[in-house]
Chains A and B, each alone.
Chain A
Amino acid sequence: MSGFSHPVLPGRHLLAIEGLEPPHISALLDLAESYALLNRQGKTQRDLLKGRTLINLFFEDSTRTRTSFELAGKRLGADIVNMSVSTSSVNKGETLLDTAATLNAMNTDLLVVRHSQSGAPALLAQKVDAAVINAGDGTHEHPTQALLDALTIRRRKGRLEGLLVAICGDVLHSRVARSNIHLLSTMGARVRLVGPPTLIPAEASRLGVEVHHDMRAGLEGADVVMMLRLQRERMAAGLVPSAREFFRFYGLDAAKLRHARPDAIVMHPGPMNRGVEIDSAIADDPERSVIGEQVEMGVAVRMAVLDVLARELRRNA
């Protein structure tokens, strides 16, 4: 990869999409695009992060995101350690800062953090010397997911600007939705949120999006349909009466998808609840579903992020 003469990102961490400007996002996506190509050719860049230590610090279970970061790091030659910290311990917060002190003492270079609490990676970032990458914090942000979604869309549609993207389902609890809202609107796409009022966050329209409670109207003319996972706890909390009612009104099936543009693509951050938010026939339709490509782009995007932050480490060394 060619070197950048100036920093790609505004800070030494990647904690959120909110605050990034179009040039930051474009630069990351361009770099990720080239990594996607290399990955397909089976080529690696094992010298780039040689001697760098990457720790996957997961306070919340995740197989795919952790594996994706692990693969990305390995393809760039980093030394990788996976740490899963139980969230069941009573003093979660103490664990967090104690862990930060421990990792600092180990001279970690890159720290990938997932935590059930919004703002936890930001708190950690104040206490460690490593570059912190937010791999999902509470209901706040999941920046690399939004980047991989954007890369997938860009590859399929050739652009982000001017596209109509419908983000559907449990937006209230979704960090994926928040990061996507910020990224897509920053890049000039139109964003619609579609879901029952109980699952749309307060004053969502002030984030510069349109809000729809009728899925057919929400999908009308959409270029991209992005489905979100509905967790079972939402039913228990009374936000949605039942899974079958949710599927009837907000699950993506062929009939509802007909309202989107004929060439609309369907996305899902995974893991899917088939028959709850998405019909299997749609999820597995090679013409519409790009869910597999999202996973592929995930590795490329994370390689780009690690690469860029490691350059910053060198610059500041």
Chain B
Amino acid sequence: MRPLLITNARLLDPASGLDAPGALLVENGRIASLAGAPAEGAEVLDAGGALLCPGLVDMRAALGEPGAEHRETIASAAEAAAAGGITTLCVLPDTDPALDDPALIEFVIRRGDATGSVTLLPYAAATKGCAGQELSEYGLLREAGAIAFTDGRRAIASARLMRLALSYARGFGAMVVQHPEEPSLAQGGAATEGELATRMGLPGIPAAAEAIMVARDIALARLTGGHVHFAHVSTAAALALIRAAKAEGLRVTADTAPPYFDLNETAIGDFRSYAKLSPPLRREEDRLAVLAALGDGTLDAIASDHQPRDADDKRLPFAQAEAGGAGLATLLGVTLAQVHNGALPLAQALGLVTCRPAALLGIEAGRLAVGAPADLCLIALERAWQVKAGQLPGKAQNSPFDGRALEGRVIATFKGGRRVFG
């Protein structure tokens, strides 16, 4: 492959703090120089002043493959990811079959490599079949390439099992990712308990279901010395517990997803099932708390929490509709909305979708550094667009942001120096 020189770019690397106009040279799929040194015979791309940052690292997405290819395939998700600037994608194991066998882990990694545009890093099932009964083979799964352990959308309900998972995973240097929701309080619920759910006559899930699980698992992290990571944290109460656990020095980390800092529960008004998510959208105070936690470092990452659903899953009475929203194409745009409205500095916001999840996962990604893989994202920061369900890249169209006007659009995505979008 010819070397590639991207000139006239605003280079932004959240990890090093670099934010300066310049040029970036790619050789053999890796970043060869940030100094703008011209290379012999290089292809030159004029970025026209656009922002060049590391390709996004999305630490939580469900794909339809294997088992639900009618909703999304690895190929269609890769297309959406590339359009969203995502070059590394951690995929959930609660597929059909669940990713609880080394062969399945290898299968997903191989299918990701075959796309040529995105690295897929599969989580392995924390329990066999994600059924919450017995631990899966952490050692073998880790060797096969599992990035960490989780049961995906299902909380590991048994305290004893969670204790074992945290202890055992620690031996293999892996974290356990929890869906923080006490199942007995969430069962049958369709929306956050409160005035709105009462008005709509929807069965509620108390916001405390999240804090209860977070409190329990923090105690188990303290007991075991294991690393617990809470996915899509959405309530002020849970964030306060996580903040305190971090201050105590426990191995506790957390991410959130764009719906939880961009939308509140009113988005489900008129029984809009595209805004039915798990955890459910919260009240405004919680949304503000999530934003504050992104700002003060309590939250380590923003993940897309992509959950593909098709029309048959969603065109149902609200309580019967499936929870979950498509998120790959909107991860960056909705994150940047918080930059444009002044809630987060640009470098910090981009850090939450690049170097910080990469560091958490211990992977070589999410950085603009000489020698790093040339996974890059070129962004027109001020370019306006509108999210339109039905016209999103990829198969899944169930965006909770349907109709949302955004500013900041990916104009090109590079994977290993090769242009895969734009």
Give chain A's interface residues, CB within 8 Å of chain B. Answer: 18, 92-94, 96-97, 115, 117-120, 122-123, 137-141, 175, 178, 201-204, 206-207
Contact = CB atoms under 8 A, between A and B. Distances in A.
Interface in B197-214: 197-204, 206
A18 B204 CA distance: 19
B270 A122 contact: yes
Nearest to B316: A93
Nearest to B192: A202
Given A93-B315, A123-B271, A123-B317, A202 B197 contact: yes
Given A93-B316, A119-B318, 17 more contacts: A93-B312, A97-B315, A118-B201, A118-B202, A118-B317, A119-B317, A122-B270, A122-B271, A123-B271, A123-B316, A138-B202, A140-B200, A140-B201, A201-B204, A202-B194, A203-B194, A206-B195
A94 B199 CA distance: 26
B317 A96 contact: yes
A119 B200 contact: yes
Interface string B316-353: 11111100000000000000000000000000000000
Given A18-B199, A122-B270, A122-B271, A117 B319 contact: yes
Nearest to A123: B317
Nearest to A173: B201
B193 interface: yes
Contacts of A94: 312
Contacts of A204: 198
Given A202-B193, A203-B195, A207-B195, A137 B270 contact: no
A93 B317 contact: yes
Given A93-B320, A96-B316, A118 B200 contact: yes
Interface residues of B, number: 22
Given A122-B271, A123-B271, A202-B204, A115 B198 contact: no
B318 A117 contact: yes
Nearest to A201: B198
Contacts of B198: 178, 201-204, 206-207
Interface centre among B201, B204, B321 (most CB of A within 10 A): B201
Contacts of B202: 118-119, 138-140
A207 B320 CA distance: 25
Contacts of B197: 201-202
Contacts of A175: 201
B204 A117 contact: no
A207 B318 CA distance: 22
A138 B195 contact: no
Contacts of A203: 194-195, 198
Interface in B386-405: none
A255 to B, nearest CB: 31
